[in-house]
């Protein structure tokens, strides 16, 4: 956060205490949301969020801000629908303008198999609480007239699904709204404070070691995004996570109003328009696992080519900026939330390329778990032990990446 924003957003900084009831490692959306919900829903305010850089400096400030619940399996539809609904109320609840805008989301299908998949998605979504409709090419043209239904002569649009609640919100504002809301209730946030190890007594985690000294805690939550493997190792855990870079870019301003979010699962890109008029475009993860934040020309060339195939007007625009985040990819493309088997140590991870939309519900549910000691029903299927129990939640087709 720069100095200008620090003056606009009312954050009150404190010196770290020697101990807290709860220490949350990682000041991204999930860490901040967990702190916010601990304070607002459970009155637990003796909480510290430790962030090694600045809040929202990880993926929560680098994403393409798509919010949706059109997932492919019941457990995920229910969970993300809860988050979609919490996002719809977040401005009113926090009293902060997060620039939430309902846009509707189109997922385009270019093959018979794709059409079947989108029909099935519409049914599963409707059955488990998220509104999604199957749409014909004619209906797609009405929702997004800019789409070339011939797909450049190579990727004809045969149908798709339309998710009216698909939305976007300004990522920084989401982070700051949650941080302000938590801090004004007494939560401490410590930026530029890196956790370098965990404090343990036997198998129990009793706090964290930071680059500024030890902090004791009744519970420690790992919310460190793509860096979870290192933190997990400190607890003696080998997590089923691989970290992959994910890139995105924006163009200069597009004069016309491009209302919906448009995605193609065959061409692997999605596009929406920001409040400033830029076209914001994202795609699949880099194939090679790494922690590199470098952006590359290959991605730009290939992603821009695919996007222009369906949205030819993009040819007239210029690319202004590109950037990268590092994503915690789980093997089944579903998140991992909850207890770890290590006493007092909780994780929220596996958010991969899809965790911005989950920030409100993820934090709400993690806070309930920490406050009550009981895993809420909504996130029970996403527990870490599902891999050992052979109860994985395969949903790759909904992740928006391959
Ligand atoms: C380009 C891109 C586009 C995306 N688009 C979307 C989208 O459209 N919709 C969607 O739902 N999701 C999207 N995502 C995914 C989404 O951004 C993430 O899943 C989500 O932000 C994860 O939040 P988090 O709080 O878990 O992690 P982060 O926001 O990454 O926060 C983790 C924090 O932990 C800190 N940290 C790490 N190690 C330590 C340590 N040892 N000590 C202290 N602090 C530490 C980091 O500095 C970081 O700030 C996208 C991601 C990227 C990169």
The CATH number of residue 116's host domain is 3.30.9.10
Whether residue 222 sits in one domain with residue 344: yes
**Model pLDDT for residues 351-369, shown as the tens digit of each residue:** 999 999 999 999 999 999 9
- Domain assignment present for residue 78? The answer is no
Buried b (16+ CB within 10 A) or exposed e, 249-267: bbbeebeeebebbbbbbeb
Task: Mark which of 286, 306, 327 sits at the end of a domain.
Answer: 327
Residue 148 to residue 141: CA distance in whole angstroms: 8
pLDDT of residue 346: 98
Same domain? 303 vs 248: yes
Residue 341 shares a structural domain with residue 322 = no
Kindly state if the Cβ of 162 falls inside 6 Å of ligand 1.
no
Q: Give the chain's length.
A: 402
How large a percentage of the chain has pLDDT more than 70? 98
Return the CATH number at 52.
Answer: 3.50.50.60
Same domain, 186 and 200: yes
Residues 153 and 13 in one domain: no
- Give the pLDDT confidence score for residue 124 in this predicted structure: 98
Count up the domains in the chain and report the number: 2
The reported pLDDT for the residue numbered 114 is 95
**How far, in Å, CA of 271 to CA of 319, rounded?**
13
pLDDT for the residue 256:
83
84 φψ region: left (φ > 0), alpha (ψ -120 to 50), beta (else): alpha
Q: Are 276 and 382 in a shared domain?
A: no
The residue ranges of the chain whose pLDDT is under 70 are: 1-7, 401-402
Q: Is residue 95 part of a domain?
A: no
Ligand 1 centroid to residue 28 C-alpha, Å: 6
Domain end among 283, 301, 327: 327
Shared domain check, 304 and 287: yes
Say yes or no: 9 and 157 in one domain: no
Tokens of 5: 């924003």
Which of 327, 353, 375 is a domain's end point?
A: 327
Sign of CA dihedral 23, 24, 25, 27: negative
Q: List residues bridging with 213 in a β-sheet.
A: 210
**Residue 119 lies inside a defined structural domain of this protein:** yes
Q: Centre a 10 Å sphere on the Cβ of residue 101 and count the other Cβ atoms it contains.
A: 16
Residues 158 and 263 in one domain: yes
Share of the chain above pLDDT 90, in %: 94
The ligand 1 atom at the shortest distance from the C-alpha of residue 358 is: 11
Q: Is residue 68 part of a domain?
A: no
Asked if residues 170 and 65 have their Cβ atoms less than 8 Å apart, the reply is yes
d(CA 103, CA 204): 46
26 lines ligand 1 (CB under 6 A): yes
Shared domain for 234 and 248, answered yes or no, is no
**For residue 397, what pLDDT is reported?**
87
66 lines ligand 1 (CB under 6 A): yes
306 within a domain of the structure (yes/no): yes
58 lines ligand 1 (CB under 6 A): yes
- 11 C-alpha to ligand 1 centroid (Å): 21
Question: 129 and 9 share a domain?
Answer: no
Domain assignment present for 305:
yes
- What lies within 8 Å, CB to CB, of 170 at 6+ separation is 65, 98, 99, 275
- What is the distance in A from the centroid of ligand 1 to the CA of 56? 8
Output the pLDDT for position 10: 80
| C-alpha 60 to ligand 1 mean position (Å) | 4
Shared domain check, 251 and 156: yes
d(C-alpha 235, C-alpha 206), whole Å: 11
Question: Contact 366/221 with Cβ under 8 angstroms?
Answer: yes
What is the pLDDT, as a whole number, of residue 2?
Answer: 55
- 252: domain range? 101-165+244-327
Closest CA to ligand 1's atom 2 = 63
* 69 within a domain of the structure (yes/no): no
Structure tokens at 173: 């504002």
On whether residue 275 sits in a domain, the answer given is yes
Among 59, 175, 400, the mutation site with the greatest number of ligand 1 atoms within 8 A of its Cβ is 59
């Amino acid at each position: 956060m720069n100095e200008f924003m620090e003056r606009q957003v009312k954050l009150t900084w404190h010196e770290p205490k020697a101990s807290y009831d709860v220490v949350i490692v990682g000041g991204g959306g999930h860490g901040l949301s967990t702190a916010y919900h601990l304070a607002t829903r459970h009155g637990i305010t003796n909480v510290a969020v430790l962030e090694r850089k600045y809040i929202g400096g990880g993926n929560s400030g680098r994403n393409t801000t798509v919010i949706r619940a059109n997932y492919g399996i019941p457990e995920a539809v229910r969970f993300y629908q809860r988050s979609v609904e919490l996002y719809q109320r977040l401005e009113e609840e926090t009293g902060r303008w997060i620039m939430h805008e309902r846009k509707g989301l189109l997922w385009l299908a270019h093959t018979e198999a794709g059409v079947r998949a989108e029909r099935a998605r519409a049914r599963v979504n409707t059955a488990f609480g998220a509104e999604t409709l199957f749409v014909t090419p004619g209906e797609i043209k009405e929702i997004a007239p800019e789409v070339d239904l011939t797909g450049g002569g190579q990727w004809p649009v045969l149908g798709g699904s339309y998710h009216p609640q698909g939305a976007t919100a300004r990522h920084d504002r989401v982070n700051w709204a949650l941080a302000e809301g938590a801090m004004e209730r007494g939560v401490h946030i410590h930026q530029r404070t890196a956790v370098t190890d965990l404090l343990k007594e036997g198998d129990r985690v009793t706090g964290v070691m930071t680059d500024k000294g030890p902090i004791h805690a009744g519970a420690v939550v790992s919310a460190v995004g793509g860096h979870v493997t290192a933190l997990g190792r400190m607890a003696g855990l080998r997590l089923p996570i691989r970290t992959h870079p994910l890139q995105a870019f924006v163009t200069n301003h597009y004069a016309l109003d491009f209302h919906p979010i448009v995605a193609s699962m065959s061409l692997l890109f999605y596009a929406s328009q920001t409040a400033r008029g830029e076209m914001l475009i994202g795609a699949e993860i880099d194939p090679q696992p790494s922690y590199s934040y470098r952006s590359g020309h290959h991605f730009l060339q290939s992603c821009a080519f695919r996007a222009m195939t369906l949205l030819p007007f993009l040819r007239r625009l210029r690319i202004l900026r590109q950037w990268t985040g590092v994503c915690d990819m789980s093997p089944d493309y579903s998140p991992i939330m909850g207890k770890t088997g290590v006493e007092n140590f909780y994780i929220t991870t596996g958010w991969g390329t899809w965790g911005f939309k989950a920030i409100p519900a993820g934090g709400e549910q993690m806070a309930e778990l920490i406050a009550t000691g009981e895993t809420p029903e909504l996130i029970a299927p996403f527990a870490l032990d599902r891999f050992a129990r052979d109860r994985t939640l395969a949903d790759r087709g909904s992740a928006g990446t391959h």
